[in-house]
Structure 1
C-alpha cells in the first residue's frame, strides 16, 4: 500500500514537473516571439513581404522612389515564381502593375551578393519573357522597373538612388527600350523624401516611422491588431525566422568545428581530435583555447 502511495506521489510530482516545464516553454516561446517581433524592420525581407500585403504600402514606396505621387497600382503579387526554359526559377519579392500597365519588381537585398548587376539584368529579362504573349508584337512589351532596395551602397559610388538606363554610347542618347533598373541605397539618409524612406526602412519602432501608411501597417503587425488570417501569417513568419536562426547557428557551429579540426591537425594533436568528436565539454574548452 505504501508502495502504491509512493508511486502516486511520484506520478503527481512528475505531472507537476511536466506542467511547469510546459508553462516555462510557453513563456520562453512568447518572449522569443516578442523579441523577434520587436527587432523586425522593413529591411528584413520576410517581414517586408507581410508589410507589402497592404497594397497602399507598396504604392507609397514606389511613389517615393520614382518620385511619382500619382502612381496607382492595379495588381500586385508577392513571391511570384518565374521559371526559365531551362528549369531555373526566380522568385520575385514583389511584382506589380500600375494603371498604365507598367511593371515593377521590388527586391529587398541585405547582401551585396544578392544585388549584383547581372542579377538585375536577369530579373528584367524574365519579367519580359513572362509578359509578352504568343503572337504579340515586341512593341507591346510594357515599360519595366527592377528596383533593388539595398542595405549598403552595393555599386560603391555614394549615390542615394542609382538609375540605370541603356544609352547609345557615341551620342549619349537613351536607347529607349523601356527597361529601367534602380538601386535604392538605404545607407545614405539625406534630408529629403528618399532619406526619410531609408530611415523608415531601418526603424524597428513603428512609432518612429515617419510615413503614416508604413507606421500604421508595421504597428498593426507588431502589436497584434490583426484578423485571424493576419495572425496566422505572422506565426508563419516567426517560425521562418526561428528556423533561419537555428540554421545560421548550426552553420556557425559547423564552421567553428571545422576550424578547430584544422588547428588540431596542424598541431598534431590526434588524441584531442578524437576526443572532440564525442566530448562536448572538452570541445568547448578547445574552442576557447584556440579563440574560436
Structure 2
C-alpha cells in the first residue's frame, strides 16, 4: 500500500512538472501583438501634420537661421507652406497627425512635401510609427518606408555619424561615422553663421538612421551640379511632394510592418555629401498630409 501511494505521488509530481514545462514552452511560442488604437477622422481633423515633437538638425548652412531652427520647424505644421532645413546627414524632424492615417489598400496614403525640383533632389528617409501604446507620443517603434534605393550599393542601415563642434563659427564641422570614414560639413561664403546647432550644448553629438547612396549626384560640371531623384519612397525627392504608401513600411530586418495606420512620421536627411558652392546635401521639409483628406 505504501509503495502504491509513493508511486501515485511520483506520477502526480511528474504530471505537474510536465504541465509547468508545457505552459512555459507555450508562453515562449506565443507572441502578444498589441494593435494600435485608431484615432478616427472627425469634422475637425486636419489633413496636415499638426504637432512637432522633435527637431534634431545636423550641422548645415541654414542651421541657426529661421530656415533651420525650431521656429522654422513649427512653421511646417498645418499646411505645406513652411520650410525647414534638416542639415547634413541624419538631421531629422518628428511630427504627428491629429488622427490616424489609415493604410488604404492599393493606394498611396501620405504626401510628404519638400522643395525638390527637376535635376535637384535632396532625398530624405521617411519613417512611420503607429501610436501602439495610445499615449499620444512617438515612443513606439519606427518603421522605414522602403524606397527604391533600399538595399542598393551605398545603402546602409543602422548608420551613425558623430559631429564635433568646431573652434570657430565659420569653421567647417568635422564628422566621423561608424564605418571608419570621416569628413566635414563644409562652410561657404554665402552663410557665415555657425553651422553647428546652437540647440546642442555638448561638443559632440551622434545622429543615427539610414544612409542613402550618393550616386545620383553629378559634380562633373562644378557650375551646374545636379542631384537626380530616386524612383520613389523618399521626401524632398520630386517636385510637388512625394506620395507614400504605408504598406511599404518595413522593420529592421526588412519584413513588412503590416500597419493598419500611422500617427507619426519622421523625415531624416539621407545623403552625406558636400556639393561644392551649393553646400551640403540637406533635406528640406515643408509639411506632410493625409491624402484621404486632401481635396
- Normalised by the length of structure 1, the TM-score is 0.23
- Bigger relative CO (Cα 8 Å, ≥ 6 apart): 2
Bigger CA radius of gyration? 1
Which structure shows the higher strand fraction? Answer: 2
Which structure shows the higher helix fraction? Answer: 1
- Normalised by the length of structure 2, the TM-score is 0.23
